[in-house]
Chains A and B, each alone.
Chain A
Amino acid sequence: MTQSNRLTAGRIDRAQVLNFTFDGKRYQGHGGDTLASALLANGVRLMGRSFKYHRPRGVLSAGSEEPNALVELRGGARQEPNTRATTAELFDGLEAKSQNRWPSLAFDAMAINDRFSAFLTAGFYYKTFMWPAAFWEKLYEPMIRRAAGLGSISFEPDPDCYDKGFLHCDLLVIGAGPAGLSAALTAGRAGARVILADEDFLLGGRLNTETISVGEQSGGDWAGTIVAELAQMPNVRVMMRTTVIGAFDHGIYGAVERVSDHLAVPPEGKPRQILWRITSRRALLCAGAIERPIAFSDNDRPGIMLAGALRAYVNRWAVTPARDVVIFGNNDDAHRSAADLLARGVHVAAVVDIRAQAKPIADYELLAGAQVVGTQGRLGIRGVEVRLASGEIRRINCGALGVSGGWNPNVHLTCHKRGRPEWREDIAAFVPGPDGPAGLSVAGAATGLFSTASALSSGSKAAAAALRDLGIRARALPQPATEDAPVSITPFWHVAEGKGRAWLDQQNDVTVKDVKLAHQENFRSVEHLKRYTTLGMATDQGKTSNLGGLAVMAELTGQTIAKTGTTIFRPPYTPVALGVLAGRSRGKDFRPVRKTPSHKWAQEQGAVFVEVGMWLRAQWFPRPGETHWRESVDREVLATRRSVGICDVTTLGKIDVQGGDAAAFLNRIYANGFAKLAVGKVRYGLMLREDGIAMDDGTAARLAEDHFVVTTTTANAVNVYRHMEFARQCLWPDMDVQLISTTESWAQFSVAGPNSRRLLQKVVDPAFDLSNEAFPFMACGEITVCGGLRARLFRISFSGELAYEIAVPTRYGDAMIRRLMAAGEEFDVVAYGTEALGVMRIEKGHAAGNELNGTTTARNLGMAQMVSKTKDSIGSVLSEREGLSEPDTLTLVGLRPVDATQRVLAGAHLMTKGTVANAANDQGYITSAAYSPNLGHSIGLAFLRNGAARKGEVIEAVSPLTGLNVDVEVVSAHFIDPEGERLRA
């Protein structure tokens, strides 16, 4: 098909012919086209179906405010729904599809909704789908979701990458129309660091869509000249295809740069889009204005569009939606559209102006004091009915109707920090209020200055004023001669007469009648109106529809528009792809990965890894022939308890505590005492939160009088460090104590089992005596290994065996694991992972994260006697609270199944035998469970009401959800070596 509606001239590259398809049909367009302009050039007016009623819709606008022409672009994994055809830049090979229709755009079965519109009016969700309540989840919601969706997605991973970046500037200029260009030039020439951002791929804003001249040049050429000068300036960054999506605190703006959206596939190594965080010292909003429609009967037919958009298509893209056009308006700007169309050879059948005193500005028929009261044409407009000033009805044939209800300054970003726009009667529009974001000023049409001359001068002056605030001298530019017409408008929002529905919000299918219904049902505040009718809640945020809806409500309530007010604009200004918000944080790059020093070695052993926070830890080390993880874990546990096993415990938090008051400080941090801990000794420590709940546990080793090494659990390393710094800086600022996290400075290995000493003796330098007498349980010291490498040795045990933890500088971690494993060969040493570690600590009855779960106290953990009452420590006062001291409080106990073949499951709740399993009878819950290969049955740790006094009692472990009910016996939590003989051996 040829481009039958393509006119002459325009700012497109005719030499470049681009092939594309729409709903499978092949078309051609030119470089510089949008999908919308190219479709119009090919005579396509029908571009989509509306959200609710599936009404046939065409393009309304020529910009990002578009409510109707939403399409699906590309195919395969790059399929992209809900893209505005008006901003989608045409490229060769573009595949576009219409949405929300079945089986085809021209014949849509769901258009049946339109017939039932009487049942689908405002608030129909709230009225129709109320009863029975159970139907909502099962029937109504899935049904509505199926019916109401717009585009569809591929469900495949996005193959492109997205980036995030940071930029800084003195002045951020938002919008590159006449005001923005003049501002950027003023600031650029003054030497300020300037960022000029515009969503379009051709800078100049309305200068590219008008026939006006600036100085000696056409508006578009003038814009090109200025952009070229700006591009030469090293202090200016010109960013096209970049939408500033939000104003945030302290001069920070979010912007999305569509780096490769205009290409079929992003170039190698380039992202699809970039999310920029722009920190500006000052910002200037030059976002122009958006034309608003007038509501009248059947005003949504394809071919009915904003008059300024019609003018833009003719002037910039050399395209007209039809050869016969009618214009309908209430202001002088509508006439400008008519004049421009005429000048390009489009037949203007009539200009309908509601104002009786309107005058024509070119050679067209003017119907003054008249209104459009109806339209014809199902899939595209064929004609209009006009009520003339005389009262007669006249039918006029046309293929397009341009509507202008005036222009709304684009105040969006001035409201992102809760600023409220102000109503200006003289131009019948909201302008930015005084309470916009700090550091943001506004110029040009965005502030209600609609002429080109005032845009140029206000942009330059506002930039100079902003720079003056920063102490940068800037001179306002000399102003070229250009258009300077005053605004002449008679506010007019909707035509009262007419048989059909008058559409306000075309994307969400909200009509004048819906607003009337909302009023009738007393949803009169703008915020209620919005939510009840969904006016302005679509992806276009009501850019072309909000004011019309407010104006109708104002009429109904008899209040002024100023009094009626507006709803709140929120970021983002236009829809943002989730991909660019995620940036590189997806898949395996969702967050950083921390690897232990033995990671490479563990990989070589075929270890299975598990994520523990950001850490990757070896979970178990399968050996050939082992087909189930339990085989590996049981083997690791048995081998460790029989001889010796090694586990990388680097992930445990390590905090170095130094200073004259180090001991006094730890005394405050831990519930138990540390002041008298001897040098060369380690002590278990329990840390409470100030509210008396257990926060974390670990060990503190005293390496010197003024030097401790504190360990934390892996999960709490960050929180504990933060907490200790809080105590140090905010609570006891004069204590002589310094903290530093050394978690990643030391590679630390647990060497556990009866042969651990013999193994270590082969590694530790002979000068250090490891005998039980010289280095007893809970000893620590700085030693050397492997002939002089500095190391730290702690005789501590999590497994209950004779055990040590040995730490070497991280860079020796890999060598150390290899040396330890080699030295252990004669003892059949095994490496064990986190599963075996867990099994052994449950067998030993040690509390871990499952028990220190943020709800448990020292008393629950059976450590009440540890909380010292003779010193000040965090949490000690409130740990005495009545509620935490009930005599029958939960206590940590061990559980074993009465029938050894049964399993004890973590998460199960405990019931006294013979009681009904419900919350009222709840006696506690199981926190940890494992199969003990040493005992040959399942075991568990649990918090049981009054547990200490219930040893020997048989109770029920239940999970009503899964039908579990197992008889378990309450036993000591120390399943293995309750006297602790092994670890002191």
Chain B
Amino acid sequence: MIINHPLLGPRDAQEFTYLGDAALIERPDWQAEDAHRQFYEYLYLRDNPAGEHRELWFHEQGDRSWLVVTRNTLTHEITHVDLARDVARAKGRSK
């Protein structure tokens, strides 16, 4: 596979390490009343779509960016690649 890195252009997937669902960005609030349930769902419950999937890839053999890659799990077509940091900020994550 080829991943079109937003900063570095097309790179071979062998340079990357895969983590999983990009929902891992949305880490719950540790002080929430139901923090236990939220963390359980965050860590263990995943959608398993046959189709578009947003997932985290780490450019380990490259610039060490975490990326959010939108990949079709049926065809492996990649339609979007964003810096995970931008995605996280867009979701309101900060410090």
Cα(A279)–Cα(B10), bound, Å: 11
State whether A417 and B85 are in contact (beta carbons under 8 Å apart), knowing that A249-B1, A252-B2, A722-B60 are contacts in the complex: no
Which B residues form the contact surface with A (CB < 8 A)? 1-2, 12-13, 17, 19, 24-25, 27-28, 30-31, 35-36, 39-40, 42-43, 56, 58, 60, 64-66, 75-78, 83-85, 87-89, 93-95
Q: Is A872 an interface position by the 8 A CB rule?
A: yes
- Inter-chain contacts of A876 with B (CB < 8 A): 30
Asked if A872 contacts B88 (CB within 8 A), the reply is no
State whether A730 and B84 are in contact (beta carbons under 8 Å apart), knowing that A250-B76, A725-B58, A878-B36 are contacts in the complex: yes
Cα(A732)–Cα(B95), bound, Å: 5
Which A residues form the contact surface with B (CB < 8 A)? 248-252, 279, 417, 438, 661, 664, 690-691, 718, 722, 725-726, 729-735, 872, 876-878, 880-881
Closest to B25 in A: A730
Asked if A691 contacts B58 (CB within 8 A), the reply is no
- Inter-chain contacts of B76 with A (CB < 8 A): 249-250, 417
- Inter-chain contacts of A881 with B (CB < 8 A): 36
Asked if B36 contacts A877 (CB within 8 A), the reply is yes
A-B contact pairs, 5 of them (CB 8 A): A730-B93, A877-B36, A877-B39, A878-B39, A881-B36
State whether A880 and B2 are in contact (beta carbons under 8 Å apart), knowing that A690-B43, A734-B95 are contacts in the complex: no
- Inter-chain contacts of A733 with B (CB < 8 A): 85, 88-89, 93-94
Other A-B contacts than A729-B66, A729-B88, A730-B66, 18 sampled, CB-CB below 8 A, are: A249-B2, A249-B76, A250-B1, A250-B2, A250-B78, A252-B1, A417-B75, A438-B77, A722-B60, A726-B19, A726-B24, A726-B58, A730-B85, A731-B27, A732-B94, A733-B94, A734-B93, A878-B40
Cα(A725)–Cα(B88), bound, Å: 13
Kindly provide the distance from the CB of B57 to the nearest chain A CB, expressed in whole angstroms: 11
Cα(A722)–Cα(B24), bound, Å: 14
- Inter-chain contacts of B84 with A (CB < 8 A): 729-730
Asked if B43 contacts A878 (CB within 8 A), the reply is yes
Cα(A880)–Cα(B17), bound, Å: 30
- Inter-chain contacts of B66 with A (CB < 8 A): 725-726, 729-730
Complex A-B, nearest 6 residue pairs according to Cβ-Cβ distance, in ascending order: A734-B94, A250-B2, A249-B1, A872-B30, A733-B85, A249-B76
Kindly provide the distance from the CB of A844 to the nearest chain B CB, expressed in whole angstroms: 34
Asked if B39 contacts A730 (CB within 8 A), the reply is no
Cβ contact of A691, chosen from B2, B28, B43, cutoff 8 A:
B43
Kindly provide the distance from the CB of B58 to the nearest chain A CB, expressed in whole angstroms: 6
State whether A729 and B65 are in contact (beta carbons under 8 Å apart), knowing that A252-B2, A878-B36 are contacts in the complex: yes
Asked if B36 contacts A880 (CB within 8 A), the reply is yes
Kindly provide the distance from the CB of B17 to the nearest chain A CB, expressed in whole angstroms: 7
Kindly provide the distance from the CB of A616 to the nearest chain B CB, expressed in whole angstroms: 22
Cα(A438)–Cα(B74), bound, Å: 13
Cβ contact of A731, chosen from B17, B40, B88, cutoff 8 A:
B88
Cα(A881)–Cα(B39), bound, Å: 11
Asked if A877 contacts B85 (CB within 8 A), the reply is no
Closest to B38 in A: A877
Closest to A438 in B: B77
Asked if A731 contacts B2 (CB within 8 A), the reply is no
State whether A730 and B24 are in contact (beta carbons under 8 Å apart), knowing that A664-B95, A877-B39, A880-B36 are contacts in the complex: yes
Cα(A438)–Cα(B40), bound, Å: 39
Closest to B87 in A: A730
Cα(A735)–Cα(B85), bound, Å: 11
- Inter-chain contacts of A251 with B (CB < 8 A): 2
Cα(A661)–Cα(B95), bound, Å: 9
